[in-house]
Amino acid sequence: MGAPIILPLDVREDAQMEAVFNAIKTKWGKLDFLLHAIAFAPKEDLQGRVADCSRAGFLTAMDISCYSFIRMAHMAEPLMANGGCLLTTSYYGGERVIENYNMMGPVKSALEGTVKYLAAEMGKRHIRVNALSPGPILTRAAGGLADLTN
């Protein structure tokens, strides 16, 4: 691929997150933009009703799909001394009820709320924070959603 930095990054592992941002600081000394394009929920919780999801499944989905963006923003901020852009991906199911989107709807809604608060906080430092919603994309992760067509 020719990428100058390739490191493992399980966003649940603080040491891996720190290693990635330390490598960026060492290699480039700054960061212009960050793209957060991850989401996850355990299949059994993702495919069921919101009212039936487990606590562990919901917390896992929130940690990976939402909190990881907060943590990345925190670590990226010092590298964006001259401003920058933090982007994450969302979906219309965070704003409106979409049949079969299930518990990812509340998770994406939380992510979109997080974007607003981060934007208010970081805008003062000329760091833009936005969520992009490209619509449903047939990814391996989306394959876990039964009959998602919108």
Q: Which residues are catalytic?
A: 91, 101
Give the H/E segment covering residue 88. Answer: strand 84-89
CA distance 53 to 33: 34
Q: Cα–Cα distances in Å, from 6 out to 9, 21, 57, 60?
A: 9, 12, 29, 25
Q: Which of 121, 136, 33, 109 is nearest to 76 (CA)?
A: 33
Give the whole-angstrom CA distance, residue 28 versus residue 13: 23
One-letter amino acid at 17 equals: M
- In angstroms, the first-to-last Cα distance of the chain is 34
